[in-house]
Amino acid sequence: MTDTYAPRAAVRARPAAGSAVLDVVVPVYNEETDLGPCVRRLHAHLTAHFPYPFRITVADNASVDGTPEVARALADELPEVGVLRLDEKGRGRALRAAWSASPAPVLAYMDVDLSTDLAALLPLVAPLISGHSDLAIGTRLARTSRVVRGAKREVISRGYNLLLRGTLAARFSDAQCGFKAIRADVAAGLLPLVRDTGWFFDTELLVLAQRAGLRIHEVPVDWVDDPDSRVDIVATALADLRGIGRLGRALATGALPLAQLRAQLGRGPLPAPPARVPAGLPRQLVRFAAVGVASTLAYLLLFLLARGPLGAQPANLLALLLTAVANTAANRRLTFGVSGRRHAGRHHLQGLLAFALGLALTSGSLALLHAATRPSRSLELVVLVAANLAATALRFLLLRLAMHHQLQAPV
């Protein structure tokens, strides 16, 4: 990887004559009825709305009905349509074979039922053509997606994606939507490492891409469930669980060459930010302010609860001490993105220094206020809020200095 930011090269806007920019693979098994309408509709859409040369590859997963004959007839009828015949079943196997053999720089696939609205196809592949992203997926779980399907499939889909987040730390939102695209150069690096040949193929590919530091673009889609779907939900779920276990073990044991993947496929680091704007500062300020608001509210509540039995100064000391410890822990994790025990003692010592300064400011303010007048509780609170604002600014500077070793990259 280079030391300066180097974005991926865009696909040539004017490809060589006859060469396709996009290859859309349609994996099928015994789809003699739906294959013809699907391919004709897809071909018509690409002809009307896709501005580059394209091809459509029908990947036949060892069908035993009339699917091969329908596919060959479509290839004879439409010059942009090709057929790939496989002797074994498996959607992952079909995609690996079709993508590996394709000369197109951008590869995609979609299910034969065309549940996903084709209007999302150009937004799906455009970031790959431009070089902005490496993979793209349609998501049915975005807020702006429009989905028509039964409660059972909705629960299964959301449960599966939550499981991926909890077990494999997946950050993409919808692993199962049959509407995805990938750059051919990225596919060449990832496909040899993807072991699954069935429905878990998508998930494994996406997890590897994420761990390699690749950019995954998500497109909200309109999606209507196919009531005639032949997917065996129970068998697929069991296979997915086995895949999660296998992939999780490989990641935990270091069996996958993630460092080499990052070096080969990952994007170079971003250029250094301007000296006056440290890395991550705007986001840190927002998070620090949110933690500060919560801490201040907790401090005021504790002060009011302890003010009666203890008096103003002891109540201030107790409330400030408790919230200072909690504030340091929250900012360490949420604001500066530091986890684990490493340097935790140093960070909390720095937080206690900020606590001492805050105590001096607030106690001094209370002392001056009581020396000048007999204040009401509301006036005490106003003065304490003002003193805490000053202490908060000092706390941010001290904590940021303490955790500077963690801030070489944006959090």
> Contact, 42 vs 67, CB < 8 A?
no
- Identify whether 202 is a catalytic site residue: yes
Task: Give the orientation angle of helix 312-330 with respect to helix 344-372, to 10 degrees.
Answer: 150
Q: Which SS3 state, helix, strand or coil, does residue 171 take? A: coil
Q: Which of 134, 202, 225, 232 is catalytic?
A: 202
Helix (H) or strand (E) holding 326: helix 312-330
Distances (CA, A) of 64 to 88, 112, 250: 11, 17, 36
DSSP 176: -
Which pair of structure tokens corresponds to residue 273? 């930010």
Neighbours of 33 (CB within 10 A): 14
Q: Which of 70, 65, 58, 52 is nearest to 27 (CA)?
A: 58
> Contact, 119 vs 34, CB < 8 A?
no
Q: Which residues lie closer than 8 Å to 110 by C-beta, 6 or more apart?
A: 24, 26, 42, 116, 121, 178, 179
Could you tell me the end-to-end alpha-carbon distance of the chain, in angstroms, rounded to an integer? 21
Q: Which residues are the active-site residues?
A: 202
